[in-house]
Amino acid sequence: MLATWGGDAHEVFEWDPDDYHPGMGCTSEAQEVDDILSFAMAYAEDGDGFDRDPEDLEQVWGEFWAVYGDAFTCEIQCQIEETD
């Protein structure tokens, strides 16, 4: 996931679809995106609790997630509500 931060584009989260298994409540692509973003935010907030490497992108760009993570979640949840 690329995001502009400080005027430059940075990869702030790396997602491998082979490692992802949707939660039981995920029945749409929007819900899967919400699920993935929730993990990114959790990893950024507590990398040690998830045994994340300090070099993982959500750790490196934790400040980005602290500032913008909730906005992403709100946006995708609005999209989920519109499609339900």
The ranges assigned to domains in the chain are 2-83
pTM: 0.75
Q: What one-letter code names the amino acid at 18?
A: D
Residue 11's DSSP bridge partners are: 2
Q: What is the pLDDT of residue 39?
A: 86
The H or E element containing residue 83 is: helix 62-83
User: What is the distance between the alpha carbons of residues 27 and 33, in angstroms, rounded to a whole number?
Assistant: 11
Residue 5's DSSP bridge partners are: 8
- Residues 24-68 pLDDT 10s: 888 888 888 888 888 888 988 988 888 888 899 888 988 888 888
